[in-house]
Structures are given as C-alpha cells and as structure tokens.
C-alpha cells in the first residue's frame, strides 16, 4: 500500500437520530457498517496516512522497540505453583511471541511436561489469545479456550494430559468454564448476540455438543453469567451479576447432574461474592455496607439474612476480596488508597496484618494466585513505581517472607536512580485527588520536565502504581510519569467510585483537569511538554478533557476510546450496552440522556484548537466498536482549528487489547512513545 500524504476526507452522509424529540445529526454514522467496502477503504486510508505521518520516526520507533525488548528477559520462567503434587509454571523462549505452559510432578527436578505451547497454537495466525485454562480435579485433562480474531469469541478445547492428544470435543462461543469433580463434566457459559454471557450448559466429554444440557438461561439483559469451582473443590458456583447487583447459585461438584440452588436471591443494588469452607459459605457483600463486609452462612440454609457477621462494615476501609484456605482466611482491603492484607487463623481465632518488607511510600500488592486450599503459604505480589514486580511467599504461621522472584530488568537497572512520590491535587469541590509520580533522580532539580499523565476512572477499577520496564524509555529521556487516581476508580473505596459514575461522571473529568493544573502550578511540567494517555473508558476521559481544556495539553494518546457515548448507549443492539446502563445510566431516561449528551466526546467536538492526537482502534473490538474512534477522528478533522497532527491507527486483525504477541505489543508501545517524543521535538 502506498503511504497517503494528505489526511483522508471522510464522506459526510446525513443520518438523523431522534432522541427525546431532539434531532441529532450524525454524518459519520455510515462507518458503523463494516460490510460496506467504503468503511474498510476509509480505515485503510487512515492507516496509510498515519504511516506516512510517522514515517520519519521509524528509526526512533526501532530504537524504542529494541530498548524495551532489551530490558526483558526473553527466556524466562514464572514462579512454579504447587497444586496437587504438581509444580505448574509457564516459560518463555527468546524470539517466541507466546508462553509455554508446563508442569513437573513432585519437584522441579522431575521431567517437564509441556501442557500447552501457545506458539504452536498461534502458528500462521495474526492474533492468538488463550482465555480459559482449567486443569481437571484429577490433573489429567486441560480445558482451554482460544480467540484467533481479537473479538473475544473463544473456542474451548480439551487436551488429555496423559496422552498429549486433543480430544474431539469442541465448544464454540465459550466465555467461562469449570470442571465438576467427576472429571468428565464441563459446565460452560456462552455469549448472546450482544456479547453477553447468558446461558450455562453442561457437557459430558465424548458426547455430541448437540446433547449438551441448558442448565440456566439469564434473560435479564443487564446480567452476565459465570461459573467457577470453589478452591475447596466442593461446590460449583454459578454467578449472575449486573454492574451493581449479584446473585449466586451452588451445586455440589461431585453431583453434576443435580440442580443449582440460589444462595441469596438478587436484590437491586446488593452485591455479593462467595467462597466455601467446610460447612459455610463466606460471603463478601455490600448489604448495609457501602465498603462491603464479611458474613458467614451455613451451606444447609445459605443466604444473607440469617448470616453471621465476621468482619463488620468500616466506613474508611474497603473490603475488596478474600482468600480462603483450610486453616486460614485472608482479607484484602484498601485504607487511604493502599492495600492492606490481614491473615485470620481459623483454628485459634487470632489475626495479624501482613507487613510488606519493602516499605515503599507508593506501592501496590495483593494475591499472587493462591489456588491450593491445603497450605499455610500465602503467595503475594508486590510492586511500586520503582520496584519491579515481585512474587513473595508468606508463611502464615511463621510470619516469614521468601522472595521467590523479582522481575529482572536486563541491561542494568537500579531503583536508587529513580524517585517516586504521592502528591494531592484539589478538585473544585475540595476533594483531594491522589497523583502517583515517578522520575529519574535529578529531573526535578532541572525545572519543569516533559510529563506523561495517565488516568482511567471507571467501573471502580483501581489504577494502582506499578513498575514498567517500557516506561524507562520515557524516564531515561527526562520524563516524569504520573497516574491520576481520579474518582470513578476504586482507589479510595466504594464512595470514590460512586462519586464518578451516573450523574456524577463529570467528576472524573474535572478531577483529571485539577491534577493537570496542580502539576502545572507546582512546575512539574508546562503545557507544551505535557502528554496524556488513556484507554477504553480512559479514552473517554481523554476525549472529555481535551474538549473541555485543549489548551492544557500538547499531545494525547487515546487507545480504543469510548467516545461515541450517547449514540452507543441509545442503541441496545450494540454489544454490552444494556449491561453498561448501570455504569453510565440509561439515556432512555431524559435526565441521563441530557447528562451523557453534555459530556460525550464525539457529540461535543467543536471548533477549537485541539492538541496532537494519536487514536487507536481494533476492527474486531467487541467492547468499543472500531467506528467510535473512526467517527471521532473524522469529526476532529472537520472541526479542529489547529494544524496539530490528528492520527488514527486501526489494527485490522485484532480487538480491544491490541496485539497478542509480546513483541508485537512492544512495537505498538514504541509507536505511541515515538509519536509523543516526536510532537514534543524530542527525537
């Protein structure tokens, strides 16, 4: 394809939407039709133009790519996990894009069994992602699922680990799966036309899929279904949930032909999650507890109403989740934005807080994967903006630590050469907004520096501080890297989330702007040296803040951005839209319509000087339709009054998460970093 030197001029075709009596004209609505040859042609023109606009940075892209690749240990091994006498682990090999999943019986000196080589699965494919990875309770079978398009539509397959052969069974359109303890029955969920997991089936190995039994069908379009086997392996739990309401059903795992029974019927706004231990279900719930509490219910009469409270609600402490073991219960909470971990000894009733040995002022940590029920060893992860990802084993009796692995940074790295801090910006309503920062020592003494500010702020998801080898390519060029912990996320508890959703969503945007203004006022950076990044719902954040305050930013990277909010939310046929009503609000209600309409980035794009923008999309993206960024770039080109670069890059063979191969992913990051460095004149 010949690189295109002039920006594409998207055809404008008048399309009228009538929303609550208001005529809303969408001249780029036609881009939703991917079967229209003109749509694909337009996306390819945009890709060609972006390639031409970035051609002069190819040397820089290559330099960045090799820097980032040079920092990773290409041939590496994960920390083995002991389960039922087997050490399970994954490893990577130099020049191979994907992992190799293995195990050894009894010890790591035993012969290696390769369970699944993802490189073989991916051979000849542009995209390959393994979703489900479930070993049967008797350790003889592996159920795994594969997506080869990036559309998150997976096929489930089963491998006999005794023979190394694939069994004939193939289950299509699978979202989740779990084994029963008879080792021949699989329960699995499938997706409906709106990409919602709505049906639970029972499959017997070796039997035709046509004979699979429909166990449950969730007809409420707000709810999605999941299935898992408890760590105790005693129960299968069918989970049904909307964004704000939960329901769970249970079945003895040894009785796969039995009937699921409800634990607690759904009540609007009541959430709960279930773990099992002996005669009890341990339930984390927000019933009468905005930050959640822990109760215990007898399996013979499960439910929330007569449950015994184990850990009461605490207004300043968010109970995120728990891990249950034979002799211990572990809670993971947030206090003041930071993770706290507490171990409860179920035998003697004592408890103690786990103190990470690092002592960093800005950090994150939590469960490192704890599938073994019968152990006193708690596996935890720890990281900070300067400490590479670390895996610890913590002895819950001896209260001792063993560092099992710390991410190696090849080519030399010293945490002492970098500094991290936590500062606070003040929002317009007086709320203090945390901002995590990292930079190379000496950067702050040289005056304002180039700064890369990121944010998300949705779904109660926490943007915790973490270490990144890729980020070093910016830090070593003098950048400050910052994370704005805006409302809508979960960093400061459930109320923090609630204050950034529904009719308070604009707090997310104003918080980010407040963080920006604080960084400028404190001379961390200047507007002409400030770049920002956000993806998906964080891409919505990018769109909203550049509409509101384009003067604050020099460059914006928006990955798969959710920017056509009002048109998407008004169309329940778009995948996942109905589920999203409980995050953004249902615009069928005029109050929500007016509010969403007032911040939707596409609808509010107007004649003003926009900063440099790099926008990405995935043609097969089921979460944010490719047309949202495509329509946005077209409208930006039509209305921006600046000469700044407006670029769209669509991955034609992948989806929401971008490239699946680890090297291809690095090339995407190198491209984005090169864009930022180039528009800042830092080649």
- H/E stretch holding 566 reads helix 565-569
Residue 558: how many other CB atoms lie within 10 Å: 29
CA 124 to chain centre: 27
Residue 429: how many other CB atoms lie within 10 Å: 11
Dump the DSSP string for 367-404.
Answer: E-----SS-SEEEEEEEESSSPPEEEEEETTTTEEEEE
Instruction: Give the strand order in the sheet containing 530-535.
Output: 418-426, 432-440, 480-484, 451-455, 530-535, 555-559, 612-618, 646-651
Residue 663 has φ and ψ, to the nearest 5°, of: -75, -40
Dump the DSSP string for 274-336.
Answer: EEEETTEEEEEE-TT-TT-EEEEEETTS--STTPEEEE--BTTEEEEEEEE-SSEEEEEEEET
Q: What share of the chain is helix, strand, coil (3-state, %, to 5)?
A: 20, 35, 40
Contact 225, 240 (CB under 8 A): yes
Query: Nearest CA to 240 among 212, 265, 203, 211?
Result: 265
Tokens of 42: 């337009």
Q: Could you tell me whether strands 530-535 and 555-559 are parallel, antiparallel, or unpaired per DSSP bridges?
A: parallel
Give me the catalytic one of 536, 600, 640, 654.
536
CA atoms of 316 and 322, how far apart (whole Å): 18
Annotation says 656 is catalytic: yes
Residue 576 has φ and ψ, to the nearest 5°, of: 75, 0
Q: Which residues contact 565 (CB under 8 A, 6 or more apart)?
A: 540, 584, 596, 599, 600, 601, 602, 603
Give me the catalytic one of 277, 518, 612, 656.
656
3-state secondary structure 56-71: HHHHHHHHHHHHHHHH
Give me the catalytic one of 621, 640, 654, 678.
621
| Enzyme catalytic residues | 536, 621, 656
């Amino acid at each position: 394809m010949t690189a295109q030197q002039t920006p594409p001029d998207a055809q404008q075709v008048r399309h009228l939407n009538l929303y609550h009596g208001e005529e809303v004209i969408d001249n780029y609505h036609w881009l939703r039709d991917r079967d229209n040859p003109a749509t694909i042609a337009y996306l390819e023109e945009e890709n060609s133009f972006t390639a031409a606009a970035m051609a002069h940075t190819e040397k820089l892209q290559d330099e960045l790519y090799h820097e980032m690749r040079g920092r990773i240990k290409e041939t590496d091994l994960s920390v083995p996990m002991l389960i039922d006498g087997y050490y399970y682990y994954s490893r990577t090999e130099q020049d191979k894009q994907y992992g190799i999943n293995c195990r050894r019986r009894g010890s790591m000196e035993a012969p290696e069994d390769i369970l699944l080589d993802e490189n073989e699965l991916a051979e000849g494919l542009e995209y390959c992602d393994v979703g489900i990875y479930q070993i049967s309770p008797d350790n003889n079978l592996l159920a795994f699922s594969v997506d080869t398009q990036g559309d998150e539509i997976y096929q489930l397959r089963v491998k006999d680990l005794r023979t190394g052969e694939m069994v004939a069974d193939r289950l299509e359109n699978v979202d989740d799966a779990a084994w029963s303890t008879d080792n021949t029955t699989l329960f699995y969920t499938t997706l409906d036309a709106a990409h919602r997991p709505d049906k639970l089936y029972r499959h017997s190995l070796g039997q035709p899929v046509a004979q699979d039994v429909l166990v449950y069908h969730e007809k409420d379009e707000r709810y999605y279904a999941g299935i898992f086997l408890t760590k105790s392996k005693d129960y299968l739990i069918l989970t049904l949930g909307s964004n704000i309401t939960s329901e769970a059903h249970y079945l003895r795992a040894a009785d796969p032909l039995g009937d699921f029974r409800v634990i607690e019927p759904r009540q609007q706004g009541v959430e709960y999650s279930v773990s099992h231990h002996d005669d009890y279900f341990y339930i984390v719930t927000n019933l009468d507890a905005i930050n959640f509490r822990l109760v215990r219910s007898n399996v013979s009469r499960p439910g929330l109403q007569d449950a015994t409270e184990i850990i009461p609600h605490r207004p300043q402490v968010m109970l995120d989740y728990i891990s249950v073991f034979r002799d211990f219960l572990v809670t993971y909470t947030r206090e003041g934005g930071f993770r706290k971990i507490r171990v409860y000894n179920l035998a003697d009733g004592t408890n103690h807080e786990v103190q990470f040995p690092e002592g960093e002022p800005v950090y994150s940590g939590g469960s490192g994967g704890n599938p073994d029920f019968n152990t006193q060893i708690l596996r935890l992860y720890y990281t900070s903006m300067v400490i590479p990802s670390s895996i610890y084993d913590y002895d819950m009796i001896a209260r001792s630590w063993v560092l099992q692995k710390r991410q190696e940074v090849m080519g030399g790295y010293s945490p002492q050469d970098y500094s991290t801090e936590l500062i606070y910006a003040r929002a317009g309503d007086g709320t203090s907004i945390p901002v995590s920062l990292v930079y190379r020592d000496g950067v702050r003494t040289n005056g304002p520096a180039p700064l890369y500010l990121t944010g998300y702020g949705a779904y109660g998801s926490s943007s915790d501080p973490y270490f990144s080898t890729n980020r070093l390519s910016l830090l070593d060029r003098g950048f400050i890297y910052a994370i704005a912990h805006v409302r809508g996320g979960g960093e400061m508890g459930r109320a923090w989330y609630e204050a950034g959703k529904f009719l308070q969503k604009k707090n997310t945007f104003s918080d980010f702007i407040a963080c920006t203004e604080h960084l400028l006022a404190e001379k961390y950076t200047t507007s002409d040296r400030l770049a920002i990044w956000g993806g998906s719902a964080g891409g919505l954040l990018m769109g909203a803040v550049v509409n509101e305050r384009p003067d604050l930013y020099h460059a914006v990277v928006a990955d798969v951005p959710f920017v056509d909010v009002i048109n998407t939310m008004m169309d329940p046929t778009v995948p996942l839209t109905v589920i999203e009503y409980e995050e953004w609000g249902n615009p069928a209600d005029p109050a929500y319509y007016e509010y969403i309409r007032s911040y939707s980035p596409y609808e509010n794009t107007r004649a003003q000087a926009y900063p440099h923008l790099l926008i990405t999309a995935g043609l097969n993206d089921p979460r944010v339709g490719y047309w949202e960024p495509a329509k946005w770039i077209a409208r930006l080109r039509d209305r921006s009054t600046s000469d700044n670069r407006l670029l769209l890059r669509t991955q034609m063979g992948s989806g929401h998460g971008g490239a699946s191969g680890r090297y291809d992913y690095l090339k995407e990051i190198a491209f984005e970093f090169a864009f930022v460095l180039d528009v800042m004149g830092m080649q």
